[in-house]
Amino acid sequence: MASQGVDAQTDRPLDITHAELGFTPQPAVRWLAPAVLVATGLKALLATIFGAYADKRELQGSLPARIYRHGDEETGEVWFDFVADVGDGFNATYTIASLLARRELEVPSAGTLPRGEMLIMGGDQVYPAASVKAYRDRTKGVYSAALPHADGKRPTLYALPGNHDWYDGLTAFLRVFAQGRPFGGWDTAQTRSYFAIQLPQGWWLYALDTQFDDHIDAPQLEYFTEAAKHLEEGDTVILCTPSPSWVNAHTEHGAEAWDTIEYFDANIVRPAGASIRVMLSGDKHHYSRYVERGGGRQKVTCGLGGAYLTTTDELPKSVVLPPPTTRIRAAGPSTRYDLAARYPDKRQSRRFAAGILRLPFRNPGFWGVAGILQSIIVLAALYGLSGPFGNSPRGFFALVASWTPAVLIGVLVVVGWVAFARLDTRTSALRGTVFGVCHAAVHLGLSLLWAWLITTLYRDVIPDDVLGNWGFLLGIVIGLPVVLGLVHSEVVAVYLMIASRFGINLNELMAGQSIEDHKGFLRMHIDAEGTLRIYPIKVDKVCRRWVADPRGEAGDPLLRPRNFQLRPRLIEDPVVVAKHDQPET
């Protein structure tokens, strides 16, 4: 009998189909596919424009304002999990979801780690853009299949929106996460896109919705002002934010994003006598940890929940927080944070760059569109070389008429590739412009070369008869887009390899590869003494072949790996965070 959906506790699927699962497993997003690039870019633009005029956070002030509580009252302990950037391809997302769903997780050198009482999703729960269908196929269905049912006390799932969740104005996010609907064995409890959770031993978890690294809205400030009234002197806060603003706090845009956090700390947390000891974020699809020099405060990025892997070799070795340029009058004293760990490591991260040479094969749509566009450019160059006036001597106006299309297209190519040269926040605009112009010059130079080769072949090689002319024309129509698409796609790949070493197009270098391996999450534990331990868990290889498990128990995953064993490991030794730094003696 076919399952009626993954929320059912009795029926289990017989195979991996929509009819059996209730959702359709999705492949990893091909980020350099033209359709994805255009659609995502437009949605991001519209979300930015309309988000300024119709901020959904302002409307959430009418929703119930609840403070949540988790932890064992008898032992004074709690286990909880953090995962971010989850809703991309099925293989990576389900690999992590199935590990999070296990009642107990055996991790070498860490022992047996019980499943978290709560699961925090730290942003970007779906890709490439939010919609109810996308959440069902890429996130909710996947997690419900990993944990279809939970006996006893069910774990609770909380979600913080990232920029991709905001691309529809947060509409789908609130429907999926803020209406009390379960995720299989996980319950949902939040009523807004931000939340405060009281934990044992004077620990709290605050999750801020800063939209697109913008301000904190008035209803949200009011909510956390009320929540802060429950803080006591010496309490400690774990602060979750949609992006790791500490990494680029020394830049102009990064300083503005950090000032939002600094304002929150100065006006909400510190006046209550509490302190922020740990900050957690996703958005960057890697793991990195910065530790306070001479102290124990931690800044952790862990965006390994399913989205394409990003590099770590460009991370700064240290950051100063708050930066000297902060505009917050009541800012705390500046402190230096040093990079203590990263995954993948620097050497491995740099090796990933060469994988972009597979760009046309990983993104066949890019190959096709590149072939069509370059063919148009070559034909424009051919028109300029031959023109509508044949080989007879041409006057000035005839030359202008024949070369105008090629010149106009050339200008568009230069503008387009300069715009494509997206900068890392530590890279100057001048450098990006230079790289964009050089990149465009290579494409245009090759286009002129192709045009010259075609005219030479036609004049010196192709037989001057009807059969030869039509054969040559047919070869141009069919073969030119294929050959030019491949060659110019590889030109783009080589450009990305080179430019990335200078802080340009770092994201595109990895997005074009859609690397599904090297994923992970955080499992955390607050013990009876009030010490927090963070276990950063990785899986170097995700499973790519799954089979239905119709004979499993109600709480077992609906799908299991086929001839593959998931091997969770620690990225680094458990990170131990005391509630307070020990005074120097």
CA distance to 25, 432, 468, 478, per residue, from 474 (Å): 41, 40, 10, 6
Chain centroid, CA 519 distance in Å = 12
**Distance (Å, whole) CA 524 – CA 458:** 70
Q: Angle 364-386/396-420 helices, nearest 10 degrees?
A: 160
Rounded to whole angstroms, how far apart are CA atoms 370 and 493? Answer: 12
pLDDT block averages, 10 residues each, the chain of length 585: 42 88 91 78 66 67 88 91 94 96 93 95 90 93 92 92 87 91 92 94 94 80 94 94 90 80 93 95 95 93 94 91 86 91 92 90 88 85 67 61 76 82 65 86 87 76 57 72 89 90 85 92 95 96 93 89 93 92 59
SS3 537: strand
Rounded CA gap, 149 and 186, in Å?
A: 8
pLDDT at 40: 72
Is there a contact between 339 and 318 (Cβ–Cβ < 8 Å)?
Answer: yes
Instruction: Give the span between the Cα atoms of 164 and 524, in whole angstroms.
Output: 26
Q: State pLDDT tens for residues 144-196.
A: 999 998 888 899 999 999 988 888 888 899 999 999 999 989 999 999 999 99
User: Residue 7 has what pLDDT?
Assistant: 44
Instruction: Report which secondary-structure segment, H or E, holds 355.
Output: none
N-terminal to C-terminal alpha carbon distance within the chain: 70
Sign of CA dihedral 298, 195, 151, 566: negative
CA distances from 540 to 104, 406, 573 (A): 20, 49, 16
* pLDDT for the residue numbered 50: 60
The pTM for the full model equals: 0.89
Q: Which residues contact 540 (CB under 8 A, 6 or more apart)?
A: 517, 518, 567, 569
> What's the alpha-carbon Rg for the chain, to the nearest Å?
27
Q: 528-555 burial by CB neighbour count: b if 16+ within 10 A, else e?
A: eebebbbbbbbbeebbeebebeeeeeeb
The DSSP code for 265 is: I
Partners of 64 in beta bridges: none
Asked whether the beta carbons of 338 and 318 are under 8 A apart, the reply is: yes
What distances in angstroms separate CA 139 from CA 20, 44, 283, 286, 320, one per listed residue?
A: 17, 20, 16, 19, 36
Residue 241 contacts residue 281 (beta carbons within 8 Å):
yes
Alpha-helix runs per DSSP H in 242-332: 252-264
Query: Going by DSSP bridges, is the β-strand pair 569-570/236-241 parallel, antiparallel, or unpaired?
Result: unpaired
Check residue 53 and give its pLDDT: 57
Q: At what angle do helices 466-500 and 429-460 cross, to 10 degrees?
A: 160
CA distance 560 to 151: 20
pLDDT of residue 463: 60
pLDDT of residue 395: 62
